[in-house]
Amino acid sequence: MLGMVNYALQEMVTERLGAEAWESIRVEAEVADRVFVIMKQYPDEVTYRLAGIVAQRMGVGVPDALHAFGHYWMAFAERQPWGKVMHSMASNVRELIPALNEMHSRIALSFPGVTMPQFRCDDAEGGSLLVHYFSPRPGLAPFVQGVLEGIGAMYGETIEVDQVEYKDRGASHDVFRIRFPAAAA
Amino acid sequence: MNGQTAELLARLFPFHVRVGTDGRVVALGTSMSKVLPDSLGCGFLDRFDVQRPRLASMAEVRGHLDELVLLAIRGTPLQMRGQFTALPDGGIAFVGSPRIVDQSSVWSWPVGIRDFAPHDGGADYAMVIEAANMQLADLERLVRTLQEKERAERDLRQRAEDASAAKTNFLANISHEIRTPMTAILGYAELLRDVGADPAERAEWIETIRRNGDHLLAIINDLLDLSKIEAGRFEVELAPVSVPDVVRDVVKLMRVRAASQGITLDHVVEDDLARTPVRTDAVRIRQVLLNLVGNAVKFTERGGVEVRVGARAKGQRLELAVAVRDTGCGIAPDLLPRLFEPFTQSDASFTRRHGGTGLGLAISRRLASLLGGRIDVASEVDRGSVFTFTFDADRADSDADAIPSSLPMPSRPASKTGPLLGMRILLVEDSIDSQRILAALMSLAGADVDVAPDGISAVSRFDGSYVPDLVLMDIQMPGMDGIEATERIRARGFTGRIVALTAAALSIDRDRAYRAGCEGFHLKPISREDLIAMCLGDLPAAR
C-alpha cells in the first residue's frame, strides 16, 4: 500500500483522537516508521494492523472504521495535488465515477510496482450507476463504499451507495450501486 | 476524405486539426474544439503559429510533413507537439497533443485528463508531474518533521545541561556558603583554646562563632524548607492575622539594615480593607516578606524601598496584595523567567557578594502558592523592581502578632611567637571573619600577616619591592577573583609560593588554581595545625 494511505490514516486519528493516541496505536501495531513517505510502498500488513487497532480505539468494528476512513480519504486526497487531477477529469459524481478506472490505470502505468484497484462502471436502471470493484486486497469493500460516498461529499451531491455484490460472500468481485435521489425526483 | 478516415482521426487524435487545400481549418478534434470553439473556416496560420521549425506559409508546412513540430495557439500560452500529415483528399492534418513541461502548463489547458486519447502519454506526464509535486510537498513535510524532532531533542538536551550546570553551580555555592562560616567557627574555636587571650576578645570570638552558627542554620533551614515543600510535606497553619502588622514588623526588622546602607524603607497601608484580619499563616507570610524586603534592601544602593499593602473584596474573601518596590539595580530580562527556579543563581560572583543560598525566591514562590497566592515581578535594569505577593484569604476576627529578631556585628584579633616567626604572609581574603581568624592564627604562630581584601588590592602590592614568603589566596572573591589575581601576580614576576585556600571544593576550581600559578590548594575550614603546616609547606594538597 502506498505510504499516502497510512499517512492519511495517521492524519485522521490525529485529528479525531489526538497525536498521543496515534503514537500508542503505532507502538501497539509495532510499526517502526514514525513518519510515512507518501509515494513509498509499505507492506499491506502494516495498514491492516494499524486499521485494526484504530477500530478498537474508535470503539467500532473494522468495517465501520474502514468506512469512516473511506470518507476521510476522499477529503484527504482532494487536499493533495490529486485533487486537481480529479477536478480536471470531472465536475460531478456522474462524470468522475466512470473516470476512476482511467485515473487508477494511468497511476499504475506511471508508477511501476504500485498495485492499483480496477473499476468498471455500468449504467443501471433508474439512472443509477453500478460500480464494479476489482482488487486482490481483501476486506476493503467498506473503505470503497466510504470513498464513493466521499466523492458525493466532494462535489456537494446527495448520493446513496449500497453494496449489492460481496466478494467475501462468494461473488467474483464487489459491486456498489450509486443512486442519485435528487435526479430521480 | 471519407467519413471513416475522419471518424478514425477524431477518435485517435482528439486534439487534431484538419486543414483544407485552401489553408483553412475544416475540422477539429473534440478536445481541440473545447480549446478553439470558433475556428472552423479560419486560416490555419491565423490561429496557429508553427514555431519549430519556423514555418510561415502552408507551402512551407507542406515541405515539412511527418516531422516533429511545435505549434502555438495564437493569443494563448498553449503549445502543441505533433506532426503534419497529408490526407487522401489533398488536405493536411496536424495530429498531436498539448505540450506539458511543468505544473503550470498542465492546468492552463481548458481540458481535463479525459480529453486526452487513452494512448496519449501526455496525460500520464501530467500525472507524473503532479506526483512529483506531491513528493516535493511530502519531502518538505518530512524535513519539517525531522527539524521539529531535532529541535525538541536539542531543547531537551539543553534543559538537561542547564539543570546539571545549575545543580553544579548550586552545590558549589552551598559548599562555599557552608565552608565560609564554618571557617570562622572552627578558627575562633581554636583561638578560644588559647588560655592567654584577653577576656574581651574571647567574648567577641564567641559572638562571631554564634553569628556564623546562625548563618549556617539559616542555610540549612532554607535547604530543608525547599526539600520539604518539594516533597509536599509543608503544612500551612491558619490563624487570624493582620497582614499590615506583619508588614510593619518585617519593615521594622529590616530598617536597621536599610539605614546602614543609607536607603529608606517605608510601608504604606493603602486602605482600611487591608487592615481586616484574615485567616492565613502569619509565619509563612512573614517568611515570604522577609525574603522580598530583604532582597530589595540588599540590592538597593541608592533611593529606597517601599512596601504597600492593599486589599480588595473577592466574594466573601479578601485578596491581599503586598507590593515591594525598590530603586535598586533591577533584574536582567533574560533572568526574569528563571528567577523563581531553584538552583538558579544569577551571577555567581554577585551571589557571593550579597550572600544567601539562592533559594529565597524559590522558597517564597512555593510558600505563596501554598497560601493560595502568587508572586509577580516587574523589573527594569538600573531602575528597580516590584515584587507583588498576592493571596486570597477568609476574613477573621482577631489580629496576629509578629516576632522580631536581630543580628550583631564583628571586631579583630592578633598576637606573636611560634613556628612561623619571621615569615611574611600575604593573606588575600574577602570574608572579614576569615581574614581575622586566619590572620590571628598565623600571627599567633609568629608570622607577619598582610591582608588584601580582594584580588585587585593584592596585585597592586606587587610593585617590585614587595616580596612576601607566602601568598594565601582565596579563589571566590568579588571583582577580581583569586585565579586572575594569581595570574597577574605571577605576571609581575613573583616567584614565591602562592597557595590557594578556598571554600570552593570542586576539582575544576583546583585545576584552575594550579593552571593560574598556585603551588598548593587547600580547603576551608582548616585547623590551626594544618594552617601552620600549610604555611611551612608541610601539608599535602587537597584532592
| HEC string for B354-397 | HCCCCCHHHHHHHHHHHCCEEEEEEEECCCEEEEEEEEEEEECC
Give which of B492, B491, B509 is closest to B501, Cα–Cα: B509
Residue B156 corresponds to which cell in the numbers above?
531537551
Sign of the torsion formed by the C-alpha atoms of B272, B277, B283 and B288: negative
pLDDT attached to residue B416: 47
Query: What residues of chain B have any CB closer than 8 angstroms to a CB in chain A?
Result: 107, 111-114, 118, 123-124, 126-128, 130-131, 133-135, 137-138, 141-142, 145
One domain, residues B495 and B376: no
Query: What's the pLDDT tens digit per position in A64-121?
Result: 999 999 999 999 999 887 787 788 778 889 888 888 888 888 888 877 788 889 999 9
Q: Which residues in chain B are closer than 8 Å to A111, comparing Cβ atoms?
A: 131
Torsion of CA B187, B192, B195, B200, to 10 degrees: 120
Choose from A41, A110, A116 for mutation: most chain B CBs within 10 A. A110
Inter-chain CB proximity A88 and B112 less than 8 Å: yes
Instruction: Compute the distance between CA of residue B281 and CA of residue B237 in angstroms, rounded to an integer.
Output: 5
Please name the residue of chain A whose CA is at the shortest distance from the CA of residue B146.
A35
Q: Are residues B369 and B478 in the same domain?
A: no
d(CA A3, CA B347): 53
- Flag whether B72 is in a domain: yes
Same domain, B458 and B517: yes
Phi-psi region of B85 (alpha: psi -120 to 50; beta: other; left: phi over 0): beta
In-domain check, residue B124:
no
- Which residue, B238, B340, B346, is CA-closest to B299? B346
Q: Which of B114, B135, B137 sits opposite A102 (nearest CB)?
A: B114
CA dihedral of A87, A91, A93, A97, whole degrees rounded to 10: -60
3-class DSSP state of A177: strand
Rounded mean pLDDT of A142-167? 95
Whether residue B403 is contained in a domain is answered as no
In-domain check, residue B107: yes
Query: Are residues B490 and B445 part of one domain?
Result: yes
**d(Cα A87, Cα A107) in Å, to the nearest integer?**
16
Domain at B480, CATH number: 3.40.50.2300
Mean predicted confidence (pLDDT) in A143-169: 95
With beta carbons under 8 A apart, name residues in chain B contacting A41. none
Q: How far apart are CA B10 and CA A180, in angstroms?
A: 32
- Across A37-126, the runs of DSSP E, i.e. the strands, are 118-123
Rounded distance, CA B479 to CA B38, Å?
Answer: 91
Mapped onto helix, strand or coil, the DSSP state of residue B403 is: coil
Q: Are B198 and B335 in contact (CB under 8 A)?
A: no
Q: Residue A184's pLDDT is what?
A: 61
Contact between B130 and A99 using a beta-carbon 8 Å cutoff: no
Q: What's the structural domain count of chain B? A: 3
Examine the domain organization and report whether B304 and B446 are in the same domain: no
Asked if the Cβ–Cβ distance from B127 to A39 is below 8 Å, we say no
Q: Sort out which chain A residues have CB atoms less than 8 A from B114's CB and list them.
A: 89-90, 99, 102
Decide if the complex's ipTM is over 0.85. no
Instruction: Pick the residue from chain B with its C-alpha nearest to A107.
Output: B127
Is B269 found in the same domain as B380? yes
DSSP state of B540: P
Look at residue B265 and tell me if it is in a domain.
Answer: yes
Q: Helices A62-79 and A44-58: crossing angle, nearest 10°?
A: 110
pLDDT at B411: 31
All residues at 6 or more sequence positions from B509 whose CB lies less than 8 Å from its CB, including other chains = B172, B475, B500, B502
Q: What is the pLDDT of residue B140?
A: 92
- Homologous superfamily of A74-184: H-NOX domain (3.90.1520.10)
Residues of the domain holding B484: 424-535
Alpha-carbon span B183 to B121, nearest angstrom: 91
The full set of domain ranges for chain A reads 3-59, 74-184
Cis-peptide, bond into residue B525, ω within 30° of zero: yes
**Residues in chain B where the model's pLDDT stays below 50:** 345-346, 348, 352, 398-416
User: What residue of A is the nearest CA neighbor of B122?
Assistant: A106
In a domain, B181, yes or no: no
- In angstroms, the separation between the Cα of residue B138 and the nearest Cα of chain A is 7
* CATH number, domain with residue B386: 3.30.565.10
Q: Between β-strands B92-98 and A129-134, what pairing exists: parallel, antiparallel or unpaired?
A: unpaired
Looking at the fold, whether B370 and B452 belong to one and the same domain comes out as no
For residue B520, the surrounding DSSP H or E stretch is strand B520-523
Scanning every residue of chain A, which has its alpha carbon at the shortest distance from the alpha carbon of B123?
A: A106
In degrees, rounded to 5, the angle at the alpha carbon of residue B408 between the alpha carbons of residues B406 and B414 is 170
CA angle B51, B57, B58 (to 5 degrees): 105
Write down the residue that cell numbers 570542586 correspond to. Answer: B506
B104 within 8 A of A81, measured Cβ to Cβ: no
Kindly tell me if the per-residue pLDDT of A14 is higher than 80: yes
Q: What is the largest CA-CA distance in chain A?
A: 52
In this predicted structure, what is the pLDDT of residue B87?
A: 92
8 Å CB contact between B449 and B536: no
Residue B129 resides in a domain: no
Which residues have C-beta within 8 Å of that of residue B271, sequence separation ≥ 6?
A: B310, B311
Query: Residue B216 contacts by C-beta under 8 Å, 6 or more apart in sequence?
Result: B178, B181, B182, B185
- Asked if the Cβ–Cβ distance from B134 to A81 is below 8 Å, we say yes
Angle, vertex CA B263, rays to CA B262 and CA B265, nearest 5? 135
CATH number at residue B63: 3.30.450.260
* Residue of chain B with shortest Cα separation from A35: B142
pLDDT > 90: percent of chain A: 72
pLDDT in tens, B55-106: 999 999 999 999 999 999 998 888 999 999 999 899 999 999 998 877 666 6
d(CA B411, CA B437): 11
Q: Are residues B340 and B287 in the same domain?
A: yes
Q: pLDDT of B356-393, one tens digit each?
A: 666 788 889 989 998 989 999 999 999 999 999 999 99
- Would you state the pLDDT for residue A60? 95
* C-alpha cell, B271: 486602605
Q: Do both B366 and B280 map to the same domain? A: yes
Q: Is residue B338 domain-resident?
A: yes
| The three cell numbers locating residue B184 | 570562622
Task: Judge if B477 and B337 occupy the same domain.
Answer: no
Do B451 and B339 share a structural domain?
no
- Residue that is last in its domain, among B395, B414, B439: B395
> Across A32-41, A51-60, B332-341, B476-485, which has the greatest mean pLDDT?
A51-60
